[in-house]
Amino acid sequence: MSATTPLRLRPLEIGDLLDETFRMYRRHFFLFAGLSVLLSIPSAGLSGFFSYALFNGLLQQTNAVAGPNFNFNFLGQTLVAAVVVFVITLVLLPFFYGAVTFAACESALGRPVTPAGILSGVMRNYFQLLGYWLLIGLMLILFCLLPLWIWIWVSWVAVMPIMFIENIGLGAAMNRSWRLVEGRWWRTFLIVFLIFIIIYAVRFALGAFIALGQGLLQLVVSPLIVVWISGVTSVIVDSLVNPVFQIAVVLIYFDLRVRREALDLFQLAQGLPSPPALPGMASTS
């Protein structure tokens, strides 16, 4: 893919940021959607198989004779299948979120985006990306107060763009994101909240449309096949919608830097197509 025009840095109002998010997604739809769908194929296939295995096992047990003949072996098999799905999804997690975020960063900077470049960018930060999402997930499970988890996660919302653009490690990126969001937490929270509302609405609309098609499909194929298709399509729908959030996070990062560091004025003064490295930080490769 050839180099694109870099993002024109400027302070973005909330409506402008949302509009720019969808404009960037439309402009590079096949890149972002293609990446997201391609990386979701293994998880989609496994999810479909898991749904099929669980439904089939429950159906067999429902038809079995009650009493001593009732067999619980399918529960163990279903648990094994669930563990396999979880492990593979976990392994692919840095690619699923990191690839689109990296592509959005490179596109915003006006740099060429290639499959090799995306793979290299994610692999350089693979374990840090994995650690970031594991930490977010563990905090969600361990924290008894959901507001506390939301407060911390919003403060770390710009971690991935920071790692890719400023080429720093996870700990430094968390501290950097915290400082960028500080004083603008409520505004950042509102943007993230609106993005999630939009994502949920789009996902619900697509899900309802697909559910209608699956209902018609049940008239001609086995319910087991429909269950498998349902498991696959739910993951594919998510993969089509998720880039909206990842692009928005990249734009939130640039907007925070413009507002806190006057990055737009620096870019205009120096004619740079990409953000400068901060003193003491490694430059972007």
Listed in sequence order, the residues at least 6 apart from 68 whose beta carbon sits closer than 8 Å to its beta carbon are none
Distance CA 29, CA 25 (A): 5
pLDDT one-digit tens code per residue, 158-216:
999 999 999 999 999 999 999 999 999 999 999 999 999 999 898 888 877 777 776 66
The residue ranges of every structural domain in the chain are: 14-268
Alpha helices, H only, the chain: 14-27, 29-63, 73-108, 115-124, 126-142, 146-155, 159-166, 170-181, 185-217, 223-261, 263-270
Mean pLDDT of the chain, nearest integer: 79
Distance CA 51, CA 230 (A): 8
81 pLDDT tier (thresholds 50, 70, 90): low
* Largest pairwise CA distance in the chain: 81
Nearest partner of 256 among 155, 161, 181, judged by Cα:
181
Q: Is 169 left (phi over 0), alpha (psi -120 to 50) or beta?
A: beta
pLDDT one-digit tens code per residue, 223-246:
666 666 776 777 788 888 889 999
pTM of the model: 0.78
Nearest partner of 24 among 100, 106, 108, judged by Cα:
108
Q: Is the pLDDT of residue 100 over 70?
A: yes
Between residues 165 and 44, the one the model is more confident about = 165
Q: So what's the pLDDT on residue 108?
A: 86
Q: What angle do CA 199, 203, 206 make, to 5 degrees?
A: 140
Distance CA 8, CA 262 (A): 13
